[in-house]
Amino acid sequence: MPEHLVFHVVLLGQILLLSLFLPWRIVRRMKHVLETYPPASHPKLYPKPFEHYEKARRNYWVTNLVMVLAGVAVLAVLMGTPRSGSWDQAIATWLFLAQMAPVLLLDLSALKEYRLMRESRARTQRKAVLKPRRLRDFVSLTSLAIGGGTYVAFVVLIVYIRQFDFPWFGGYWNIAGVTGLNLFLASIVFWHMYGKKLNPHQSDEDRRRQIEVAARVMLFTSIAATVSIALSVVLAALDLRSFEPVARSLYFQLLAAICLQVYYRSDLTRNFEVYKNEPSGSPV
Amino acid sequence: MDIVIDIDASVPLFAQLIEQIKGAVLSDVVRPGDALPSIRQLANDLEVNNKTVAKAYRLLERDSVIQTRGYRGTFVHPDAKVNSTVDLNALVVTKLGEAIAALRASGATDSEIRIAFGDVMKHRGS
Interface ipTM: 0.72
Q: Which residues of B touch A (CB under 8 A)?
A: 1-8, 20-21, 24, 29-30, 35-38, 40-42, 44-48, 73
Q: What is the mean pLDDT of residues A152-166?
A: 85
Q: d(Cα A52, Cα A59) in Å, to the nearest integer?
A: 10
CA distance to partner chain A, nearest, from residue B44 (Å): 5
Half-sphere exposure of B9 (CA within 13 A, CB side): 13
User: Residue A233 has what pLDDT?
Assistant: 85
Could you read off the pLDDT of A131-151 as tens digits, one per residue?
Answer: 999 999 999 999 999 999 999
Spatial CA neighbour of A227 closest among A204, A248, A200, A210: A248
pLDDT of residue A280: 55
What DSSP state is assigned to residue B27? Answer: T
Kindly report the pTM of this predicted structure: 0.77
Q: How high does pLDDT run on average in chain A?
A: 88
Residue A284 has pLDDT above 70, yes or no: no
- Average the pLDDT over A216-224 and give the result: 93
Question: Which residues have C-beta within 8 Å of that of residue A69, sequence separation ≥ 6?
Answer: none
Under 8 Å CB pairs connecting chains A and B tally to 68
pLDDT, average across residues A64-77: 94
Higher pLDDT, A89 or B68: B68
**Best of B45, B69, B75 to disrupt the A interface by mutation (most A CBs within 10 Å)?**
B45
C-alpha distances out from residue A72 to A19, A22, A65, A68, Å = 11, 17, 11, 6
At A178-210, the pLDDT tens digits run 999 999 999 999 999 998 888 888 888 889 999
pLDDT of residue A277: 78
pLDDT reported for residue A124? 81
pLDDT reading at A282 higher than 80: no
Nearest CB neighbour to A128, from listed B7, B30, B42: B42
What mean pLDDT is predicted for residues B22-47?
92
- In this complex, do B4 and A126 lie within 8 Å of one another by their Cβ atoms? yes
Handedness of CA A163, A169, A172, A178 (dihedral sign): negative
Chain B residues in contact with A194 (beta carbon < 8 A)? 38, 40-41, 44
Q: Given an 8 Å threshold on Cβ–Cβ distance, is A126 in contact with B73?
A: no
**Residue A156 pLDDT greater than 80, yes or no:** yes
Q: What is the pLDDT of residue A167?
A: 66
What is residue A5's predicted lDDT score, i.e. its pLDDT? Answer: 86
Is the pLDDT at A10 greater than 90? The verdict is yes
Please report the domains of chain B, with CATH numbers, ordered by start residue: 13-84 (1.10.10.10), 88-125 (no CATH)
Mean of the per-residue pLDDT values of chain B: 90
Q: Is A127 within 8 Å of B47 when comparing Cβ atoms?
A: no
A126:B44 CB<8 A: no
Residue A283 has pLDDT above 50, yes or no: no
pLDDT tens-digit profile of B52-97?
Answer: 999 999 999 998 999 998 888 999 999 988 888 877 778 888 999 9
Task: Indicate if the pLDDT at residue A24 is higher than 90.
Answer: yes
With 0-12 / 13-18 / 19 or more C-beta atoms within 10 angstroms meaning exposed / middle / buried, residue A253 is buried
Asked whether residue A85 carries a pLDDT value surpassing 80, the answer given is no
Rounded distance, CA A171 to CA A162, Å? 6
Question: Could you read off the pLDDT of A160-181 as tens digits, one per residue?
Answer: 888 776 666 677 888 999 999 9
Percentage of residues in chain A having pLDDT higher than 90? 48
pLDDT (tens digit, 9 = 90+) per residue, A226-259? 998 898 888 888 877 778 888 889 999 999 999 8
